[in-house]
Every structure is written in structure tokens, then in C-alpha cells.
Amino acid sequence: NRSSAPANQPPLMKEVFTTTDEFETGSDSSHYTGVLDIPAQPRLARPPRSRRPQLNPDEAADILRGLRAPVTVVKGVGERMQKSFDKLRVHSVNDLLRFYPRDYDDYTRLMSINRLRPNEKVVVVGTVQQTEILIGRNNRKDFKVVLDDGTGLLNVIFYGQYFMGRYIKAREQIVLRGQPSIFGSRLQIANPEWEHLDPNNLQQVSIVPVYPLTEGLKAQGLRRLMKTTVEYWAERLPDYVPESVLDRTELADLGWALKNIHFPEGMDHLGHARNRLVFDELLLLQLSILNNRRDWQSVPADPLHVDDDFTDQFLQAVYPYQLTGAQRRSIEDVRRDIALSTPMNRLLQGDVGSGKTAVAVTVMAMAVANGKQAALMAPTSILAEQHYRNISDTLAKMLGEIQPRVALLTGSISSAEREAVYTGLADGSINVVIGTHALIQEGVTFADLGLAVIDEQHRFGVEQRGTLRGKGKNPHLLVMTATPIPRTLALTLYADLDLSIIDEMPPGRIPIETRVIEPVARERTYSFVESQLREGRQAFVVHPLVEQSDKIDARSAMEAYEELSTVFFRYKVGLLHGRMKPAEKDQVMSDFSHGEYDVLVTTSVAEVGVDVPNASVMVIEGANRFGLAQLHQFRGRVGRGQHASFCLLIPDNNTPEAQQRLQALEEISNGFQLAEIDWKLRGPGDLLGTRQSGSMEMRLADFITPQAAELAQREARTIFEEDPYLTAPEHQLLAQRVQLMQDERSDVS
């Protein structure tokens, strides 16, 4: 209420008040009064199903092919606009239809200014009452707008954007999207998204899509373009998902879903539309992966025969400890796979420290006992070296006629050594090789590669996996990862891999004590770290990637490094960040593991599974910015020796959501449980983010729920089992659509 404005109002506001009347009396008929006449939102419990138009198959196939046409076939898209779309990675008609809104303005939930509250994301519509340029700190020129919606006035500031006066003028009606905050004693919105109000949006629709924009694409024009495009295609596009599947799953029609994801009639409609389209993405992805798998599995592998008592004898000879039940189960899974002439393609998931190496070594021994070669590829040379030492020690204890010769192949060995390894692999005198990307270089040939193992597989692309496989006739493949991905999601994303999970830790591990620390207690945290250093331990301090830019990221890590060098001036502090060359990173990691640094300041690159048993503290700054799975990975870097270990989480923004997540980390030490929780709380983005780029282009990734994944998986397998080549008449269009997806995917990789 204006009259009750506090007395300590900045002088600026007075001016605003004096000009108010002038505008209000200047009877502008379009003046927004703050009370919109918008129809109540329609509800929709179930998506409607309509009868399909009877298209003849050729016609339908033709229309579907139209999805591949470049965007320029759309009326109104010229070369200039094509360039803009290029930047948004929209190239074809299909891309355009899948260019889903990143948000929606729900005009039925429009907030009037007198009801705004701080820190809640809102949409506000109002008339610009006044604009002005303010001179801020350091002579920065800010642009200020006073917005009136008939219920109150709102200050809107565009920091540093004095030029906005060219676009926003008094008396214009605009729509703002942003989050009010308290400034002085009033609410204001800083740097909101905005656009001019299109009166049609108020009168005809209640939910308005918000598309990503770029230079040359304006909100309203794009919306109009999308509207005509979506309407045109939604009417014509034949639904490639068989009717029987839609009946079973109670999903919406394709055309209806397309219309409603772009221009929802109501929020229920939007939900149903998303369900359908998420289902499509997952279904197509799986069918395409299953298709690939069928192709490469059609080339037989040499079966490896393993006697029943081999595993027991081997394990007894080489390990002082008993394997856990989960390790043994995984070994059995593999043994069954490799006995077949279909090449194995198995993913071994196990938390950090769960003992995946022992499984890998046992399987490599099986290959060797069959007179085959085995290779293990790791993402960094330090990791490869660690595996090399470990595995050659272990295999040296192997019984039997064959005394395996184990070699190391990384970028850092001398060229003479490299030549020797090349020769040994080619003539078969080397049985086992451990290495990095160096293994998939052209010069490397194997006499008879029977088994390939990839450690930390998410660090490698699909192609690199393929290249390693290509080094043998068609070797069995075991890929390992410590990134816990919930089972349903893993089965969906890696539909071509069989899954073994080590869900049990070797006995006798001291749990890592995990604590969330308030930023104000940072000093105390540092003294705690120092007390550990005094006892001879080492510490990691992780800094989040604040910006999506390596450069800025490196700078902030650098600053942290300098600060911590002062804090721990008695100790040696090292720095590791994303901008360093792989060789530099390796050097720093190896120096740290040899104790040449006491504290290692690092950005997320330290994820890689290097063992530093002497490290007992992991401090994570900005902990709220990481996904739980990732935090759990970091935590796994400590507690690898016999020392009690600690993980200290310092959030920089302690929202209730962040609190809940970090608390989960305090209480739970099982990575899979944490991944499930993360999935529920934040969607699968973090889990997918760990995957290499290009392997999946999921526009709706945030909406993959466990139910959606399960549903798509079930349907994909049913279809695939009934008709693996998708040749049945009811699968023709689906086959065509899968092919389109495969072509798109091979374009991005």
C-alpha cells in the first residue's frame, strides 16, 4: 500500500509517487489493472486418445521423412534465422519440434505486485510507469524501471544495462520473470527476464511457452513460428508408437503431446504431454542401443572355458582375504558370459573401494588361462601405473603352467619401451597389458585379445570403447564404474550392457565421518585439518566449478590455492585444476600421492580413482553445488588407508533442499542409495552430467523418473523380443524413427 510506505524511503521513490497520478489519469484504455480475466485452468486426469487417421504406409513414411528436412523448409525461416537456430543446435524440422520450452509463464498463476514475496520466482505483468538511468558504484550505469500493475509499484533494476532504455519505454506493458528480493525496505527485482506483453497471450491462452533465445530470435516471433509449425505437424505426423503400446501404457497421442508440450491447455495437459515425450526419447534410445548391440553381437567371440574350481584356486593363491559375496557373484556373472560365443558386454558397478579390481583381475586370469590376451584401460597414467603394480603383483602369484607377462603402456613410457610392448602384444608374448588411451593408438595390435576391461568407463566415449574392442576379433568386454547410477536408470541408458552390482563393502572398513559445516565455522575446520596434518596425514580441499568455463574455474581454484597456502603456511600446498594439461595433472596427483604436498586444492578433476591411503580429510567447499553421487565420489578419496577419515562439507547456500541432501550424505554411506535420493530430489541431471558429452541428447532429461525409465525399458524389450528387426507392419514407422535417431546421434558424436 503506497500511503504506508516507510519514511526512510530513498528520495527516488518520491519522484515515482509524484508521477503516478499523471499516468493514472492519462486514461490509457489498455492500462493493466492487476485483475486479469483469465479462465480457470482446465483439469485433465487422463490424456485423451483419438482415433488415428488411416494413412497408407507410404504416405506416412513420407511424412515422417519430412522430419529430416532442414529448418528452412518451415515458412518464415530464412537463412538468417537458420544461423540463429544453428546456435541452439536446431537444424532439422525434427529438432524444431523437439525444441521444447525451457519454461512456461502460467498466466493463471500471475502474481500481482501487492502480493509479491521475496525469493519466490514469479511472473509479473504491468505497465512501465517510469524509466531512468542510475549511476551506481564504480560509475556503473544501471537501468531502472518502475512497474505498475494497479495493485502496487515494483522497482526493477537492470544492473549495468543502461542501454535498456532503447527497448523498454514508459507506458509499455511488459512481462517479467524473476525473483524479487528486498532492497532497502522494498521489494525489487534485479535482472529479470522480460518481454513486451502480447495481449493475445492474456486473452487466448493461459500458459505461454518460454523458449531459449539467441541473437536473431525474439520471444514473440519465435512463439508464433513454433505455434504454426507445431500445429501443422501435430495434425499430420503419424504416430510411430504402435497403438497397442499406447493402450497398455495409457500415454497420449504424439500429435496431442506435441501440441501440449509447446502450448499446454493446462498444467495437467503439460504433464501428460511430457510423459509421452519422455517415453519416446527413452524408447527410441533403447531400441537404438539394442539395435547396435545386436549388430556387434552378430560377430562371434571366442568362448572362454573356466573350470568350476578355477576361481577358488586362483583367489586362494593370490589374495590373503576372502572375496565378498557381491564380488563372487559378479565373477560368476562374467564367467557365464564369457563361456558363450556371444561377446560379453557387462557393466560392473561398485562403490569406490568395493573391490572391483579383484573382480577384473580374476577375469583377466581366466582369459590368460585360456591362452588369450587381456587388456585393461584406465583414464589416466597414474591410475594405469597403480593398476599395473597391483595387477602384476597379483598375477605373479597365479598357479599353473602359464606365468603371465604383464606390461604397462602409457604415453609417458620411453619409445624403446613402447616398441617392446608393441612387439610383445603383436607376437603374443605379453599376456596382459595395462594402459591408458595409448592402448587404442593405431600402432597397437594384439595376437589374440580375448578380454578388454575398461576402468572408470564414464571417462571414455562410446567410440573409444568400440576402438578397444576393435583391437581383437571381438573380445569380451567388461566395463567398470564407481559412479553409482540407480539400476533402472543404468538399464535404460546402458541398455546394451548387462549389469553386475557390487553392493557390499569388504569387511573392516572404518566409516568416513561426514559433517556439514556452517561457513562461519571454516576457521575451526582449518584448525582441524591442521591437526590432521600435524599427525602426518594429508588433506584434499575441493572447490566447485562455479562457472561453466575452465578459465574462470581455474582462476577461482588459483585464488583458493593462494588463500590456503597462507592458512597452511607451515605445510606444502598443491593445486590441481581443469585447465592443466593431462601430464601436469598426473604429475601433481603423483606428487601428492608420494607425500610431496600435504594439502591438495582441486576442482572436480580429482574424481579419478587414485589411491592416497595417507589422505584422511576431504574438505568440500560449495558442497551444495554438487550432486550427491559426486560428493560421494569425492568422499571415497579418503578412508583408503588405516586412518580414521573425515569428510567436511561446507555449503555456500544452505537452502532446505541443500540441507536435506547434505544430511543424507552424513547419514548414508551407500553410493547407490545416495544416487536414488539424488535422482528423486534433483532429477537425473547430475547422474547424466557425469556421462561423456554427445552420447545422449536428452531434451527432457530432467523428467526421467524411475517409473518412466521402467516403463520405457519394459516396452522396448517387449518390442525387441517380438520383432528385433522391427519388420512387422505395425513397427515400420517406429523402425524409421529409430533410424532417424541413430543418424542424429552419429552426427553429434
The residues binding ligand ADP (CB under 6 A) are 321, 323-324, 327, 350, 352-358, 482, 506, 609
In whole angstroms, the minimum distance from the beta carbon of 512 to Mg ion comes to 17
In whole angstroms, the minimum distance from the beta carbon of 545 to ligand ADP comes to 24
Q: Grid coordinates representing 136?
A: 551506481
In whole angstroms, the minimum distance from the beta carbon of 467 to Mg ion comes to 22
Reference 359, options 405, 404, 409, 314; nearest CA is 314
In whole angstroms, the minimum distance from the beta carbon of 327 to ligand ADP comes to 6
Cβ proximity to ligand ADP, 285 vs 482, nearer residue: 482
- Amino acid, single-letter form, for residue 369: A
In whole angstroms, the minimum distance from the beta carbon of 659 to ligand ADP comes to 29
From the list Mg ion, ligand ADP, none, which binds 321 (C-beta under 5 to 8 Å, kind-based)?
Answer: ligand ADP
Strand 406-409 vs strand 373-377: parallel, antiparallel, or unpaired?
unpaired
d(CA 564, CA 523): 11
d(CA 617, CA 539): 5
Cβ proximity to Mg ion, 357 vs 370, nearer residue: 357
Stretch that binds Mg ion, among 7-15, 412-420, 603-611, 698-706 (CB under 5 A): 603-611
- Judged on CB neighbours under 10 Å (0-12, 13-18, 19+), 63 is middle
From the list ligand ADP, Mg ion, none, which binds 475 (C-beta under 5 to 8 Å, kind-based)?
Answer: none
From the list Mg ion, ligand ADP, none, which binds 350 (C-beta under 5 to 8 Å, kind-based)?
Answer: ligand ADP
d(CA 309, CA 305): 12
Could you say which DSSP state residue 237 is in?
P
In whole angstroms, the minimum distance from the beta carbon of 697 to ligand ADP comes to 30
From the list ligand ADP, Mg ion, none, which binds 506 (C-beta under 5 to 8 Å, kind-based)?
Answer: ligand ADP
In whole angstroms, the minimum distance from the beta carbon of 344 to ligand ADP comes to 19
In whole angstroms, the minimum distance from the beta carbon of 332 to ligand ADP comes to 15
Q: Give 467-485 as a 3 state SS string.
A: HHHHCCCCCEEEEEECCCC
In whole angstroms, the minimum distance from the beta carbon of 586 to Mg ion comes to 17
d(CA 45, CA 684): 26
From the list Mg ion, ligand ADP, none, which binds 593 (C-beta under 5 to 8 Å, kind-based)?
Answer: none
Count the neighbouring beta carbons within 10 Å of the beta carbon of residue 111.
Answer: 18
Main-chain dihedrals φ then ψ at residue 540, nearest 5 degrees: -105, 140
Cβ proximity to Mg ion, 354 vs 474, nearer residue: 354
Cβ proximity to ligand ADP, 378 vs 658, nearer residue: 378
Cβ proximity to ligand ADP, 310 vs 526, nearer residue: 310
Q: Rounded to 10 degrees, what is the CA torsion of 519, 525, 527, 529?
A: -140
| DSSP per-residue letters across 158-226 | ETT-GGGGGT--TT-EEEEEE-EEEETTEEEEES-EEEE--HHHHHH-SEEEE----TT--HHHHHHHH
From the list Mg ion, ligand ADP, none, which binds 355 (C-beta under 5 to 8 Å, kind-based)?
Answer: ligand ADP
Cβ proximity to ligand ADP, 529 vs 610, nearer residue: 610
Residue of minimal Cβ distance to ligand ADP:
355
Reference 598, options 619, 620, 575, 572; nearest CA is 572
From the list Mg ion, ligand ADP, none, which binds 352 (C-beta under 5 to 8 Å, kind-based)?
Answer: ligand ADP
Cβ proximity to ligand ADP, 355 vs 472, nearer residue: 355
Reference 544, options 638, 607, 609; nearest CA is 607
Cβ proximity to ligand ADP, 176 vs 315, nearer residue: 315
In whole angstroms, the minimum distance from the beta carbon of 611 to Mg ion comes to 8
From the list ligand ADP, Mg ion, none, which binds 358 (C-beta under 5 to 8 Å, kind-based)?
Answer: ligand ADP
- Judged on CB neighbours under 10 Å (0-12, 13-18, 19+), 271 is middle
Cβ proximity to Mg ion, 285 vs 358, nearer residue: 358
Cβ proximity to ligand ADP, 321 vs 725, nearer residue: 321
From the list Mg ion, ligand ADP, none, which binds 324 (C-beta under 5 to 8 Å, kind-based)?
Answer: ligand ADP
Stretch that binds Mg ion, among 136-144, 182-190, 439-447, 608-616 (CB under 5 A): 608-616
**What are the CA-CA distances from residue 598 to residues 110, 530, 565, 587 (Å)?**
55, 10, 11, 15
In whole angstroms, the minimum distance from the beta carbon of 483 to ligand ADP comes to 11
d(CA 92, CA 478): 37
Do 262 and 230 contact (CB within 8 A), yes or no? yes
Cβ proximity to ligand ADP, 393 vs 666, nearer residue: 393
Q: Say whether residue 609 binds Mg ion (CB under 5 A).
A: yes
Strand 538-542 vs strand 599-602: parallel, antiparallel, or unpaired?
parallel
Q: Which residues bind Mg ion (CB under 5 A)?
A: 609
